[in-house]
């Protein structure tokens, strides 16, 4: 079945405010929530569909992507590159906030169950700096990342090895307590065990009973050729470790390309600002320059001015998201000589005489310029 448009699913328009979108989602979610529609497959589907739609439209950044690219803007879960992600996994955690106050009563997935179920670890973002040359060729880089993982001493249980947690006396191990309030029976997470149903009596020394510890790991990252500042790399399963053997989160690496003293980047083009002397500019020259890909022979034509651009095709940056390459652009900059020797001064004076005579001659030929 074709996926329905998210706006259609929630019955909102593109210019609806976040508050309106949230309100609509709540209405639908309350109507079709699985706890109110036991064993009703259709209702469950409606609930899921609305939740997915809300996970996108309820987030400004994702909504923008969806408005621009539709579903294609969202499912960039493939290997390597994605400027945008954080999609499916957060669906349920996002909704606890919204639905929590509504579905406090008799929720099927009580907080206790959730605590003891495998859960995915969080995503981590780190920033790294690379040189312009590395961004040109691509590079394998080792990045130290501090992550939160299951405690190695107690395997995440939080209890000192050899001991086990005791059943919570407050809630009898259910993780939640029920109170009758008029018409409803209201259930809320147990305060004593914070919804876990068990209490750690002998906390693990390493993690102080949290079951988690911070660990640094060196992660090898293949940075592809052609990346630019602001690109993000996603490395699956290298984020925070999962809970209760759940999947690890993802690692996002934000790339920053340092500036280079000789080269710069514009779009896919590699730019080299080349200083040339008066005589090279006037007479032309054959020179060779060191570029990232190797030596490049360049012919400076006679009578070259400053800011002349010479183009060498396909020697620029790789196009990361498609075919082709940029160009190498060499921009000339005629440099005025300094620390002139006596001999040079003599020659320039000589040159000046010739120029003056030449100008006088052209003024006669061209009287309107005087």
Of 34 and 203, the one with the shorter C-beta distance to Zn ion is: 203
| Least distance to Zn ion, CB of residue 93, Å | 22
Q: Which is nearer to Zn ion, 213 or 327 (by Cβ)? A: 213
| Residue 16 vs 153, nearer CB to Zn ion | 153
Residue 269 corresponds to which tokens in the numbers above? Answer: 């083009």
* Tokens read off for 42: 């259709």
Contact window for Zn ion (CB under 5 A) among 73-81, 104-112, 200-208, 272-280? 200-208
Does position 200 interact with Zn ion (CB under 5 A)? The reply is no
Contacts of 229 (CB under 8 A, 6+ apart): 255, 256, 257
Distance between CA atoms of 134 and 231, rounded to whole angstroms?
Answer: 14
How is 137-205 classified by DSSP, letter by letter? H-EEEEEEEEEEEE-TTTTTS-BPTT--PEEPTTTTTSSEEEEEETTEEEEEE-TTTTTSSEE-SSB-T
Q: Would you say 9 or 154 has its CB closer to Zn ion?
A: 154
| Binding residue (CB under 5 A) for Zn ion from 171, 223, 257, 298 | 171
The residue among 122 and 189 lying less far from Zn ion, judged by its C-beta, is: 189
SS3 125: strand
Kindly state the smallest distance separating residue 191's Cβ from Zn ion, in Å. Answer: 8
- Among residues 46, 56, 190, 271, which is the contact residue for Zn ion, using CB under 5 A? 190
Closest CA to 312 of 296, 300, 301: 296
113 binds Zn ion (CB under 5 A): no
Of the residues 91, 139, 149, 192, which one makes contact with Zn ion according to CB under 5 A: 192
Q: Does 204 bind Zn ion (CB under 5 A)?
A: yes
Nearer to Zn ion, 161 or 361 (CB): 161
Which residues have a Cβ under 8 Å from the Cβ of 94 and sit 6 or more positions away? 54, 55, 58
**Window 133-162: contact mask with Zn ion (x via CB under 5 A):** ------------------x-xx--------
Closest CA to 235 of 218, 221, 254, 247: 221
Half-sphere exposure of 67 (CA within 13 A, CB side): 12
Residues 205-224 that bind Zn ion (CB under 5 A): 206-207
Which residue number, 63 or 174, has a Cβ lying nearer to Zn ion?
174
Q: Give the C-alpha separation, 234 to 85, whole Å.
A: 9
> What phi, psi does 34 have (nearest 5°)?
-55, -30
Transcribe 285-326 into DSSP letters: EEEEEEETTEEEEEEEPTTPPTT-EEEETT-S-B-TTSS-B-
* Minimum CB–partner distance for residue 105 and Zn ion (Å): 18
Question: Of 170, 188, 229, 277, which one interacts with Zn ion (CB under 5 A)?
Answer: 170
For residue 28, give Cα distances in angstroms to 25, 99, 345, 355. 5, 11, 86, 85
Name which position in 126, 168, 200, 251 contacts Zn ion (CB under 5 A).
168
Q: 193, 227, 271, 330: which one contacts Zn ion (CB under 5 A)? A: 193
Nearer to Zn ion, 11 or 246 (CB): 246
Chain contacts with Zn ion (rule: CB under 5 A): 151, 153-154, 168, 170-171, 190, 192-193, 204, 206-207
């Amino acid at each position: 079945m074709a996926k329905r448009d998210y706006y259609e699913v929630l019955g909102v328009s593109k210019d609806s405010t976040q508050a309106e979108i949230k309100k609509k989602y709540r209405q639908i979610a309350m109507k079709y929530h699985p706890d109110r529609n036991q064993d009703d497959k259709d209702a469950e589907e409606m609930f899921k569909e609305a939740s997915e739609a809300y996970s996108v439209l309820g987030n400004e950044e994702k909504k923008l992507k969806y408005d621009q690219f539709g579903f294609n803007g969202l499912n960039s879960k493939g290997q390597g590159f994605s400027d945008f992600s954080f999609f499916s996994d957060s669906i349920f955690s996002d909704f606890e906030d919204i639905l929590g106050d509504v579905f406090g009563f008799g929720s099927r997935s009580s907080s206790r169950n959730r605590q003891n179920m495998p859960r995915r670890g969080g995503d981590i973002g780190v920033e790294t700096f690379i040189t312009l040359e590395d961004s040109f060729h691509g590079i394998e880089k080792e990045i130290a990342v501090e992550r939160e993982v299951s405690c190695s001493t107690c395997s995440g249980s939080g209890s000192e090895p050899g001991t086990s947690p005791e059943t919570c006396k407050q809630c009898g191990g259910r993780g939640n307590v029920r109170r009758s309030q008029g018409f409803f029976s209201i259930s809320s997470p147990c305060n004593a065990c914070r919804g876990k149903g068990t209490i750690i009596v002998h906390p693990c020394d390493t993690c102080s009973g949290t079951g988690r510890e911070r660990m640094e790991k060196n992660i090898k990252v293949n940075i592809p050729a052609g990346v630019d500042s602001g690109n993000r790399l996603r490395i699956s399963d290298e984020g925070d470790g999962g809970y209760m053997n759940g999947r690890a989160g993802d690692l996002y690496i934000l790339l920053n390309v340092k500036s280079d003293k000789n080269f710069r980047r514009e779009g896919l083009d590699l730019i080299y600002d080349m200083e040339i002397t008066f005589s090279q500019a006037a007479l032309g020259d054959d020179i060779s320059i060191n570029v990232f890909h190797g030596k490049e022979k360049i012919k400076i034509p006679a009578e070259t001015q400053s800011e002349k651009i010479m183009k060498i095709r396909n020697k620029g940056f790789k196009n990361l998201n498609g075919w082709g390459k940029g160009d190498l652009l060499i921009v000339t900059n005629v440099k005025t000589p300094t620390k002139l020797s006596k001999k040079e001064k003599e020659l320039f004076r000589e040159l000046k005489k010739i120029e003056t005579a030449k100008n006088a001659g052209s003024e006669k030929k061209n009287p309107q310029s005087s």
